[in-house]
Amino acid sequence: MCARGILVHAIAPAVIGTELLQQMEKSTVDLLVSKIPMGRVGRPEEVAALVAWLASDDCSFTTGAVHDLSGGPGHVLGLAGPWRGAEPEPPSRNDRGQSGGMIERLWFGALARARIYRRLILRERPLSQPFPDLSVHTPVSVSLLAAGEIDAYMTFRPDQSIDEVRSRLDEGQQCFAVWQDRRIVHAAWAVTGRARIEYLSTEITPAPDEAYWHDVFTAPAFRGRGVAGVRMVEMMRCFRDRGYRRMLGAILPENRSSLRLDDKAGWARPIGLIGYVGLGPWRHVFCRIERGASPPGRAGLEP
């Protein structure tokens, strides 16, 4: 490209004082600023000045560079790439909420709420691999939610709409519910065929031998007791026994509990990142698959 006179630049801004910032809590902004060595946010005109120079004839011998606009290198936001934060260390129960992770969560959370940038890690779990023993001491049972059990489900998830739950069951989605003492304490939904990712307002189409899970939830009082793992193993066994080869899931990179749960169940491998960048009515949906990995719809796995 250099030989053809094409220059390529990337700009790595941190927090810039745009309207987005005005939608954030002052305490959040203060926390972000406290992590920037220059002690302030960037100004839009500072971004504009750099862009103007990069696009001008004065910039004639610079290419292939990432230009820092972060108010000081090495600050904890570390927005060097979308994979940053996508592979967090497995959390221990004591390290939840460390400041670096918290700042990142706040930042990406603000971008997501403003519908500017949202992304999920796509993960796979080949069903040919052995399942771990994730049994729990608490007596629980796992079963597929039947239409006559919707009331119990609504008691467990009062935040959801009963019409939505009915329509999922009508469409053939399967809800794997964990019961304890005749109440549901955990549930997850599995879809075959076309699957909608509500958070991204987009869809993926798993292959006929792939299933996609979503809407995983443990009642708050039961979190950390391993009930989700019991369901996970039961769900994987159920699909494997029906000839499915791979399960797929999409997780927020900041959702450490969910990533940890997947890790314990052997969902070792992220296969890519799916998300969007949006500005007003314009939206660009992307799905970047890791080299060597198979995208949804093409399991391509050894039996």
Query: Which residues lie near ligand COA (CB under 6 A)?
Result: 91, 93, 186, 216-218, 223-229, 251, 255, 257-258, 260-261
Q: What is the 3-state secondary structure (H, E, C) of 99-148?
A: HHHHHHHHHHHHHHHCCCEEEEEEEEEECCCCCCCCCCCCCCEEEECCHH
Q: How far is the CB of 161 from ligand COA (least distance, A)?
A: 17
Nearer to ligand COA, 175 or 251 (CB): 251
Nearer to ligand COA, 181 or 302 (CB): 181
DSSP states of 13-74: E--B-SHHHHTS-HHHHHHHHHTSTTSSPBPHHHHHHHHHHHHSTT--S--SEEEEESSSTT
Q: How far is the CB of 86 from ligand COA (least distance, A)?
A: 14
Q: How far is the CB of 261 from ligand COA (least distance, A)?
A: 4
Tokens encoding 295:
């995208």
Chain-centre distance of CA 146, in angstroms?
29
Q: How far is the CB of 62 from ligand COA (least distance, A)?
A: 42
What Cα–Cα distance (Å) separates residue 49 from each residue in 19, 20, 56? 19, 20, 10
Nearer to ligand COA, 9 or 225 (CB): 225
Q: Are 187 and 177 in contact (CB under 8 A)?
A: yes
Residues written for the chain: 303
Nearer to ligand COA, 107 or 222 (CB): 222
What Cα–Cα distance (Å) separates residue 243 from each residue in 15, 142, 173, 259, 303? 49, 20, 17, 26, 10
Q: How far is the CB of 54 from ligand COA (least distance, A)?
A: 39
Q: How far is the CB of 296 from ligand COA (least distance, A)?
A: 16
Nearer to ligand COA, 226 or 275 (CB): 226
Q: How far is the CB of 101 from ligand COA (least distance, A)?
A: 13
Q: How far is the CB of 169 from ligand COA (least distance, A)?
A: 20
Distance CA 143, CA 128 (A): 22
Nearer to ligand COA, 186 or 245 (CB): 186
Report which residue's Cβ sits closest to ligand COA: 224
Nearer to ligand COA, 224 or 300 (CB): 224
* Helix (H) / strand (E) containing 190: strand 183-191
Distance CA 20, CA 111 (A): 8
Nearer to ligand COA, 160 or 258 (CB): 258
